[in-house]
Amino acid sequence: MKKRMLIMEPDDNAGVMLEDARQNDAATFENTTVAALEPIEFAHKIALRDIKKDEDIIKYGEAIGYALKDIQKGQWIHIHNMDDVHGREGRLA
């Protein structure tokens, strides 16, 4: 089933769900479609592409955090796999 998501900037690697998605639902925004790999609730983030551990999470054109582990395209992005940009201090060279 198609579900709406929001992408604000072309460089974003995280979209925002505009409605609840179940596993295998197609999250869509304009010409972008991503299959949800797991349930993702309204207003939560979905990975628009694969994101490597320690890579920035970009939403609305801004780095909002970084990946604590590899995140697959279509996965839910939340506190279990990302941390705030302030949590990075001292962790990366």
Could you give the domains of the chain?
Answer: 2-88 (2.30.130.110)
Token duo for residue 26: 């197609």
How far is it, in rounded angstroms, from Cα 34 to Cα 7? 12
Give CA angle at 82 (60, 31), nearest 5°: 40
pLDDT band at 91 (very low <50, low <70, confident <90, very high): low
pLDDT in tens, 31-62: 999 999 999 999 999 999 999 999 999 999 99
Q: What pLDDT shows up at residue 90?
A: 53
Question: Are 44 and 66 spatial neighbours (Cβ–Cβ below 8 Å)?
Answer: no
pTM summary value: 0.91
Count Cα atoms within 13 angstroms, Cβ side, for 34. Answer: 27
pLDDT band at 93 (very low <50, low <70, confident <90, very high): very low
Give CA angle at 34 (73, 23), nearest 5°: 85
